[in-house]
Structure 1
Amino acid sequence: MTAHKTGTREEWLAARLELLDAEKEHTRRADELARQRQELPWVRVDKDYRFESEEGPASLADLFRGRSQLIIYHFMFGPDYTAGCPSCSAIADGFNGFEVHLANHDVAFSAVSRAPFAKLDEYRKRMGWSFPWASSHGSDFNFDFGAAHTKEEWDSGLARYNFAEQDIRPTTAEQQSSLDDFAQSIVDTDWRTYRSEGPGMSAFAVQDGTVFHTYSAYSRGLDGLWGMYQWLDRAPRGRNEDGVWWRRHDEYDK
């Protein structure tokens, strides 16, 4: 017998209709937040960022691929990683394949990481993904848009992430060892190397040949991009998690 509250179909329907009102209010609030995002002032991008893509060397404007809007996912894959971050990989499983729909709605999409392109492309093939993925190796792009931290930021304890300065260094030798073990298990690096990257997304627009930065989000601001969580939030036990339970999709049997 389940320990969860049970009831009749009539009781369920009454509770569901009450919840529906709350869901509709949540939807209306989400619509309002989307409007506020679109009303943010645009900031001109003056730096000449360079990338390596499937088509060869590219500028930020080239990543638009003829569209007027561009969404970039800052995928955690540093130069010294042996594989992409499992969390970013789970998010990528959710957005793989939909770039064709965005492209036909005047929105280009690309993931961007600091690892060399050959390493990204090899991992993409392993994962069976098709979305565009560019390397910003040697560029300031990830640092300037809040998705990577410099040595100076790390040493000072003032790494800027999610619009605030954070000290992401371990505070004890025990924590250092635990975090190093975690990083070693997922990308074969120590914690400092792993967490010098951060997940995020940024949006851009191009107008009259000028590129503008319009929006960025990090941390829980990426929650809506985790496709699996949108389904789990509607499952009977919700997210039902304690720590990191997900894996790269080809590693669950291991």
Structure 2
Amino acid sequence: MEKEAIFEKIEQLYAELQSKRQEIQSLRRQLPPEPVQNYQLLNHKGEEIPLTTLFDHRNELLVIHNMGKSCVYCTLWADVVNGMRLPLQNRAPFVVVSPDEPQVQQEFAQSRGWQFTMLSSAKSSFTKDLGFATPHEKGWYYLPGVSAFTIRDGQIFRTAYDFFGPGDDYCSVWHFFELLPNGINKWQPKYSYL
């Protein structure tokens, strides 16, 4: 294929991709909001924090569902989110929730330099009820992703959600790697890059 034809095909595919993304967003907005109870999550001190307070006097909230310290991929996503925390917080409050106990979360967050709020769902059915955990022979298998919420007259609703995975739109490092001559080249996240 000639260079010009390749560029034209790439442009065409990007246009199709953008059109499909817009179609997905349009379909998501047509879904009815899902009522959600006022779950109690645990802060770094082990204190119960009601979901309603996370809105911080605003009407929208993002919750990142993280699998916890044991998942190197979720650690990568959290590293990336940490770099995006200021624009995210400017648009809507957000927190990262994992099933790890609060002390484990706090120690791990400090070791990574994370500056966002982390909460624990260890004593709550929050993660399971929202579909980010599935039964497993050894207990529960947690899934990474994000949920968007709104609050109206004290009632919480989930308006959208999505799951995370390599190459998704939420962790941009994969897209940078795809531009390299050898692509991702079997690269995998690590706990340390030094």
Which of 14, 39, 42 pairs up with 1:23? 14
Deviation for aligned residue 1:231: 1.3
Q: CA RMSD in A?
A: 2.4
1:103 aligned partner:
89
Higher deviation after alignment, 230-239 or 48-57: 48-57
Distance 1:234 1:109 in 2: 30
Q: How does 1:169-184 map to 2 (within 5 A)?
A: none
Deviation for aligned residue 1:132: 1.4
2:141 aligned partner:
196
Deviation digits for residues 27-75 of structure 1 (CA, Å, limit 9, x no counterpart)? 1221221122222110111x33111225853111111222211111111
More strand by share: 2
Aligned residues: 193
1:218 aligned partner:
163
Distance 1:222 1:63 in 2: 29
Q: How does 1:89-128 map to 2 (within 5 A)?
A: 89-105=75-91, 107-128=92-113
Tell me the TM-score normalized by structure 1. Answer: 0.68
1:60 aligned partner:
51
Distance 2:71 2:48 in 1: 25
Distance 1:219 1:129 in 2: 19
Q: Does the CA contact (< 8 Å) of 1:84 and 1:123 recur in 2?
A: no
1:51 aligned partner:
41
Q: 1:220 to 1:124 in 2, by over 3 A?
A: closer
Q: Which runs of 4+ in 1 moved over 4 A?
A: 219-222
Q: Does the CA contact (< 8 Å) of 2:38 and 2:52 recur in 1?
A: no
| 2:184 pairs with 1:247 | no
Q: Secondary structure at the match of 2:63?
A: strand
Deviation for aligned residue 1:148: 2.3
Q: Does the CA contact (< 8 Å) of 2:44 and 2:105 recur in 1?
A: no
Instruction: Determine what percentage of the aligned residue pairs are the same residue.
Output: 27
| 2:117 pairs with 1:132 | yes
Q: Does the CA contact (< 8 Å) of 1:201 and 1:222 recur in 2?
A: no
Which of 62, 66, 75 pairs up with 1:75? 66
Q: Secondary structure at the match of 1:239?
A: coil
Q: 1:68 to 1:49 in 2, by over 3 A?
A: same
Deviation for aligned residue 1:229: 1.0
Deviation digits for residues 132-161 of structure 1 (CA, Å, limit 9, x no counterpart)? 111122111111112223xxx335xxxxxx
Distance 1:17 1:206 in 2: 45
Unaligned regions of 5+ residues in structure 2, if any? none
Q: Does the CA contact (< 8 Å) of 1:97 and 1:130 recur in 2?
A: no
| 2:29 pairs with 1:38 | yes
Structure label with greater radius of gyration: 1
